[in-house]
Structure 1
Amino acid sequence: MNARSFDVELKLREEEVVEVTSGLLHTILFLRSSAAGESGSTVFTRGTPPVTKFSYVDCRTIDFTHVQVESPDLKNRIHREATLFFTQLKRGQRGRGSITLEFYERSEGLLSTSCETWEMWRIGVTLTTCGSLFEKRRHSQKACAEIADFVSLITTAVNFDTHLPLAYTPEHVGRIYDTSLRGVQPYLFKITHRIDCFRHYNPSVLTDLCKWIGKGAFLD
């Protein structure tokens, strides 16, 4: 199965990072989840699985309202990952990085279990500052427009699903869905972070170093 990949690049002020990244992750997972406790054919249906318990959340730091599933376990997990990402982002020398939501399917072989990714959502973030009220307003307008465009992409991509993994029998459910969370049953997923670490470097030195360790790659 070929994995679909989507990404967005955002410039955010420090106080906006956790709310914006959490909101986008909640939006995607709302559309990639079903209500826990459902039985029968609902679990095996293609398309957007229904979630009956959800709420709308208004961000305090930016004009962005998002939907989230009413699941304490999912809320805590997303908040923990977004907060950890922000902490790492502040420690990075360049103030730039990405947080990625990856959906995967588990395959069980005779001797081992493997995971195959079928969809990835990458949110790139660069920290920025605003020196005046005018700059803050201009930044907010631009960031809100980019967030709205990405949310539109999310809903469009999900509404035209043709690649979702299917659980043909109850035994297949655990290979596709995460059944460990209270109140919701999302597709199996993981959240990862990447932080750009280098601010200043000598290209020739890094090239020689890469060749020396056998990678032959150029770092940017």
Structure 2
Amino acid sequence: MWFGRLFRGLGAGLLALAATPAAAWTPASLIAPCEGDCAVSIYGGTYVENAMAKVLVTRPEFPASWDYTTDDHLIATAISREAGWLWDRHVSLEPEVGIGQRFGRQKATEVWGALFVRYHGFPWDGVVRTTVAVSTGLNWASDKTAVERDRNQNDEEGSHVLHFLAPEVTFSLPSHPGAELLFRMHHRSGIFGLINGASGGAQYATVGLRLHF
């Protein structure tokens, strides 16, 4: 399966990167002029009640089967950049910073910084270019909402700062690879109590557009 190849290739690529000083990049690379390796994204979506571990891992379901809350929404924008490549350019490393606004049942502003690991190279890319990615990072919310406090099994007070895990998939036409349709599960949680004793957090199924420049 592609995800097995992804993890095996990522491990091999990290070892190769560590063993090759010339392949290392410096923080200055992130502020160099963009040459098609920068991107801006805008997306929005609706709150999902289902636990992400169940709908994506233990009991996978199609998004049409998820339980949505119709009065709880998010709109967000983010800037990212390809900072390095591994495994013969099949895996890219992409730092991202973003800001989002919840409205409806929850009213809070989110700010995050994360590193995305993205897989490229599906066999059907000649028809529809496809990538999948997952992130790790930190997300700060301006309010400890009642929804997040209810989801926190370990800490009823909740936490402003939680882990940012946002699995996503993108699609683009081979003739226009710089414009991608984006589907992201925008998710923050305490990693089973690891961060500030919090277990749950807010999550949204979102769709948007990413433009590379």
TM-score grouping bracket, smaller chain normalisation = under 0.3
TM-score by length of structure 2 reads 0.25
**Which protein is richer in helix relative to its size?**
1
Give the alignment's TM-score, normalised by structure 1. Answer: 0.24
Higher normalized strand content (fraction of residues): 2
Larger Rg: 1
Larger relative contact order (C-alpha < 8 A, sep ≥ 6)? 1
